[in-house]
Amino acid sequence: MERLKKDSRGRCWRKVTIYLLVCCLILNTSLPAVLALEAVDMGVNSGVISTTFGPHTVIDTDHGAIINWNSFDTSTGEIVEFNQFLGGVESSASAVLNRIISASPTQFDGALNANGRVFVVNPAGIVFGSGSTVNVAQLVASGLNMSDAAFNAVLADPANQMEFEGGNGEVTNHGSINADKVYLIGTKVMNYMGVFATDGLMVLAAGDNVYLAQDGSQVLVEVADTGDGTA
């Protein structure tokens, strides 16, 4: 009888252990989507007002905010939302620069929502996956780098051109992009799905260095000399 009790307790503990392991596996299925979004710098000088991380990440930013990320990857179902302010009120003119510092291209499979202008820069490249959605006032997605100085110059004067230099990233879109203005920049730019620019301005520019007028009226693309007489 005593042995039976011990065996019963042993079976009970095994069942509890298995149950806990199964629960942990179920709960952890969502962790990669949350943890893939990893900021390097959101300090007091970054222009970030507040953040709430999770499957629905919400970031409040002042005009001219600059955020450096280790990863800006998202999984299907994850949402990144920017509430952008200018002069203390929400404004479609407010801009935020998201610079990804990674050796790997950004894989964005979730949803990007914002009321303002969103710059996403990864010199290793950017892929908007199938099923991804972007709904912003203006999208600038670049596989070439944009320096802080170049970003600030854009904000200082609408007449200043956007300068993208350095990096060798490609930009690929398999998702749905909705914005007043859309700029896709890289050493190679590929669009396989829908890009809807309500203001009628969509620029796809490929080169080693790209310089764009903010209104899209002028585009200068530089391609490095390959050394064999071709560019």
Q: Report pLDDT digits (tens) over 61-112.
A: 999 999 999 999 999 999 999 999 999 999 999 999 999 999 999 999 999 9
**The pLDDT value given to residue 37:** 73
- CA–CA separation, 72 vs 115, rounded Å? 19
The tokens of 129 are what?
Answer: 């996956």
- CA–CA separation, 202 vs 41, rounded Å? 30
**The pLDDT value given to residue 21:** 32
Average pLDDT over residues 145-162: 95
14 or 108: which carries more pLDDT confidence? 108
Percent of the chain with pLDDT over 90: 66
50 or 171: which carries more pLDDT confidence? 171
DSSP strands (E only) in the chain = 37-41, 48-52, 56-62, 65-72, 79-86, 89-90, 95-100, 106-108, 111-114, 117-121, 126-128, 133-135, 138-142, 162-165, 170-173, 176-186, 188-191, 195-206, 209-212, 219-222
Average pLDDT over residues 186-191: 97
The amino acid present at 123, given as its one-letter code, is P
**The pLDDT value given to residue 120:** 99
Regarding beta strands 209-212 and 162-165, do their DSSP bridges make them parallel or antiparallel, or are they unpaired?
antiparallel
Q: Report the topology of domain 36-222.
A: Pectate Lyase C-like (2.160.20)
**The pLDDT value given to residue 227:** 52
